[in-house]
């Protein structure tokens, strides 16, 4: 892609390609134990291909190797990913919704705008599970194919009322590309370890354990009456901005304008944009919010002389900006 450097984030794909150009080591294996296994799992963003059009498919159960209506099975090495959803005291979180999506064996996502690789009509592409009273979840899938210059990975989104939602990615220990993946290497060694699936050496089917820690919402930390100031629709003028390429390429443009909708549920705010999954906004300071899962973006609100919120500016970590006017 000739305009790859226009993407927000840490220029995740650009970095990954640049790092991959160097010498690849003979596998990247992490062996040290993390210091705080109950800390919140490192957050990552949605990536370019979160499931959108295919969210309406009837079959999104825990088995991604079979798709309802298809007689065959998904191409690739069958594997199991399982684990627990825990809080920051390492106590199980029951009833959490765990959603995963990934590339198929050929490195292609089940997404309407991914034109790379080869489609697999038998691969479900994404799935949802609900944790039991022990916080456990389990999926049957295939080993993800190589996508671009990224390391093999599976995307996760975990949500539960009363907890901050978390978007992250599972990686596989020992993969050569782990050493050159720009996103993975933006984390410390300790954080990288917490993003690695732990292989079960005794399992006949390749099995990886990946547990995730969520952070509780602090009731009353930011009262609902304060958050109400930010609720509304914001008209985004995309044409000619730093965000134009990303939105048009990955969210189904071409867009010249789009609407960002900010909604409130109790003591939490959520952002909805065209063809992108709803993302939680994390309060940082007055008129400042972090939309970590929405392409690693910060939101800054502006007020008029009367104190009413009139606009919002999206700002990526690398300084790109997009401003919307409240309507």
Q: What is the pLDDT of residues 34-61, one digit of tens each?
A: 456 799 999 998 888 887 777 778 888 9
Question: How does pLDDT run along the chain (327 residues), one tens digit per residue?
Answer: 334 333 344 444 444 433 333 333 334 444 444 456 799 999 998 888 887 777 778 888 999 999 988 889 999 999 999 999 999 999 999 999 999 999 999 999 988 888 888 999 999 999 999 999 999 999 999 999 998 889 999 999 999 988 999 999 999 999 999 999 999 999 999 999 999 999 999 999 999 999 999 998 876 578 888 899 999 999 988 888 777 777 776 666 677 788 899 999 878 899 988 777 888 998 888 999 998 878 788 999 999 999 999 999 999 877 888 899 999
Three-state SS annotation for the chain: CCCHHHCCCCCHHHHHHHHHCCCCCCCCCCCCCCCCCCCCCCCCCCCCCCCCHHHHCCCCCCECCCCCCCCCCCCCCEEEEEEEEECCCCCECCCCEEEEECECCCCCECCCCCCCCCCCCCCCCEEEEECCCCCEEEEEEECCCCCCCCCCEEEEEEECCCECCEEEEEEECCCHHHHCCCCHHHCCHHHHHHCEEEECCCCCCCEEECCEECCECCCCCCCHHHHHHHCEEEEEECCCCCCHHHHHHHCCCCCCEEEEEEEEECCEEEEEECCEEEEEEEEEECCEEEECCCCCEEEEEEECCCCCEEEEEEEECCCCEEEEEEC
Residue ranges of the chain that CATH labels 2.40.128.50: 224-326
**How buried is residue 73: exposed, middle or buried, by Cβ count under 10 Å (0-12/13-18/19+)?**
middle
- Which structure tokens are listed for 185? 């290497």
Rounded-to-10 torsion of CA 141, 145, 151, 154: -30
Residue ranges of the chain that CATH labels 2.60.130.10: 4-213
Domain 224-326 has CATH 2.40.128.50: yes
**CA pair distance 50, 57, nearest whole angstrom:** 14
The pLDDT score that the predictor gives to residue 220 is 58
What is each CA distance from 132 to 86, 98, 138, in whole angstroms?
12, 11, 10
**CA pair distance 112, 51, nearest whole angstrom:** 9
Domain 4-213 has CATH 2.60.130.10: yes
- Which structure tokens are listed for 141? 């899938």
The C-alpha angle with vertex 99 and arms to 16 and 50, in degrees rounded to 5, equals 45
What rounded mean pLDDT belongs to the chain? 85
**CA pair distance 149, 305, nearest whole angstrom:** 49
81 neighbors 203 (Cβ within 8 angstroms): no
In sequence order, what are the residues at sequence separation of 6 or more whose Cβ sits closer than 8 angstroms to the Cβ of residue 198? Answer: 173, 208, 209, 210
Answer yes or no: pTM beyond 0.85: no
In tens, the pLDDT along 59-74 reads: 889 999 999 888 899 9
The pLDDT score that the predictor gives to residue 266 is 79
List phi, psi (to 5°) of 240.
Answer: 80, 5
First-last CA distance in the chain: 35
**CA pair distance 175, 180, nearest whole angstrom:** 10
Identify the CA nearest to 285 among candidates 303, 300, 270: 300
List phi, psi (to 5°) of 79.
Answer: -150, 165
């Amino acid at each position: 892609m000739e305009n790859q450097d226009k993407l927000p984030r840490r220029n995740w794909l650009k970095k990954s390609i640049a790092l991959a150009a160097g010498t690849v080591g003979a596998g990247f294996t992490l062996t040290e134990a993390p210091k705080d296994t109950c800390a919140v799992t490192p957050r990552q963003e949605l990536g370019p291909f979160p499931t959108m059009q295919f969210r309406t498919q009837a079959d999104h159960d825990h088995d991604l190797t079979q798709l309802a209506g298809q007689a065959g099975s998904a191409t690739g090495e069958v594997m199991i990913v399982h684990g627990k959803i825990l809080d920051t005291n390492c106590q199980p979180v029951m009833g959490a919704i765990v959603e995963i999506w990934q590339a198929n064996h050929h490195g292609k996502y089940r997404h309407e705008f991914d034109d790379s690789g080869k489609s697999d009509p038998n691969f479900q592409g994404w799935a949802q599970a609900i944790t039991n009273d022990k916080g456990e979840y389990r999926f049957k899938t295939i080993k993800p194919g190589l996508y671009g210059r990224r390391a093999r990975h599976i995307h996760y989104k975990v949500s539960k009322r009363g907890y901050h939602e978390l978007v992250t990615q599972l990686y596989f220990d020992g993969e050569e590309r782990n050493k050159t993946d720009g996103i993975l290497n933006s984390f410390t060694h300790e954080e990288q370890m917490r993003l690695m699936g732990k292989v079960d050496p005794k399992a006949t089917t390749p099995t990886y354990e990946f547990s995730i820690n969520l952070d509780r919402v602090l009731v009353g930390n930011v009262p609902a009456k304060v958050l109400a100031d930010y609720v509304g629709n914001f008209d985004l003028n995309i044409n000619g901005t730093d965000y134009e390429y990303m939105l048009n390429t990955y969210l189904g443009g071409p867009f010249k304008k789009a609407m960002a909708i900010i909604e409130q549920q109790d003591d939490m705010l959520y952002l909805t944009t065209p063809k992108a999954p709803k993302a939680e906004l994390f309060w940082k300071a007055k008129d400042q919010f972090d939309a970590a899962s929405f392409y690693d973006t910060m939101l800054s609100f502006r007020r008029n002389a009367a104190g009413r919120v009139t606009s919002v500016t999206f700002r990526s970590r690398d300084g790109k900006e997009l401003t919307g006017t409240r309507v």
